[in-house]
Chains A and B, each alone.
Chain A
Amino acid sequence: MKKLVILGAGCGGTMMANKMRKHLDRNEWNITIIDKDNIHDYQPGYLFVPFGINTEREIRKTKREFLKPGIDFVISELVNVDWDKQQVTTATRGTFSYDILIMSTGCDVRPEEVEGLGETWGKDVYGYYRFDHCVDLKKALAGFEGGKLVVNIAEMPIKCPVAPLEFAFLADWYFHTRGIRDKVEIEFVTPLTGAFTKPVATAVLTSACEQKNIKITPNFALGSVDGERKVISSYDGTEVDYDMLVSIPPNFGSQVMIDSGISDPMGYIPVDKHTLQPKDRPNVWVLGDGTNVPTSKAGAVAHFQADILEENIMAYINGEAQHARSDGHAL
């Protein structure tokens, strides 16, 4: 029996497992997908939880319910990936060898990577890139009666690059509905040169910010957070004060990839940006937020990457040339 192992049962991993199960004969191929837990969060919904628009019931499901029959789901922490030995090791379920490996382990926020941010988290400093962070932020926003709300991107790349601006717009709407918008100052502090990464979008979004009375502070490379003074500082010494800080901390790939020696220092796996394969690893493919591909970290990107992988992996199995190429687009 040949073995296809998939790491990560989030958006990318689940899509790949279901796609490949349709193609591969159950008598020839065993498909195993490994993840640390059985919670599947609809991550686009995170943004709406702090404002009471999305509830836990609406955006939290189980991973297992989205996997087709014939896919083995292993719940255990991943502790090592060894491309040379063609095997992966888990904390509690042993080692799994593979003929083909698909990696989709995503990325996550790391507040502790910024001086003062980890220590200050939860004390007038919040975020919305994990479900528990969203719940804490919802409580904090409900108790916020006025002052300066700063939305800050620590550094790029981040998941869903437009989400911080959406958050600022939603905050504008939220405080309007509460009747306290005139008591709240909203400032969007970003390391980018403007509101967004692309010029056409930046022009439109800058205008939208002006209409909504949201101040944009560009070119701000976050250096530290001082929770006592309630100030964020950039590397060039610029300071911005806040009453509530909504932080988008640095995003890192999976620590296991760093520990396994197969990623860059940020935990992102280097791959060919068109084939999504690591160099000299013909039976390994990587998709989603965990690659170093210069594209948006978003489920839509993973979706289109999954189509490329599906075609090329089947060509690889059938001994044919692999023609599909990813162009990294999201829409």
Chain B
Amino acid sequence: MGLLKDTEMNHISKLLFKWAYFNLLLCGTWLGPPAMQKAGKRLSMIKKK
């Protein structure tokens, strides 16, 4: 776990995603709505553009 010490959660997330890829995504499992979740997005910046 010496990898990227300041972003261990990022590293752990990548390991979890690999498991999810092989065991959930490829199987065609539904993981949530396909429309973009807007929570936390800075939509005002998009409007300015």
Contact = CB atoms under 8 A, between A and B. Distances in A.
Interface of A: 11, 14-19, 22, 42, 44-45, 53, 58-59, 61, 66, 68, 169, 173, 177, 199-200, 299, 303-308, 310, 324, 326-327, 329
A293 B14 CA distance: 26
Nearest to A329: B36
Contact of A22 (B22, B28, B33): B28
Contacts of B45: 199-200
- Secondary structure at the B interface, as helix, strand, loop or mixed, is loop
Given A44-B21, A45-B18, A200-B42, A327 B36 contact: yes
A28 B31 CA distance: 28
B27 A44 contact: no
Interface in B12-49: 14, 17-18, 21-22, 25-28, 30-31, 33-36, 42, 45
B25 A15 contact: yes
A45 B3 CA distance: 15
A304 B33 CA distance: 8
A44 B36 contact: no
A18 B26 contact: yes
Contacts of A326: 34
17 contacts: A17-B28, A42-B21, A42-B22, A53-B3, A58-B18, A66-B26, A66-B27, A68-B27, A169-B4, A173-B4, A199-B45, A303-B25, A306-B28, A307-B30, A324-B34, A327-B36, A329-B36
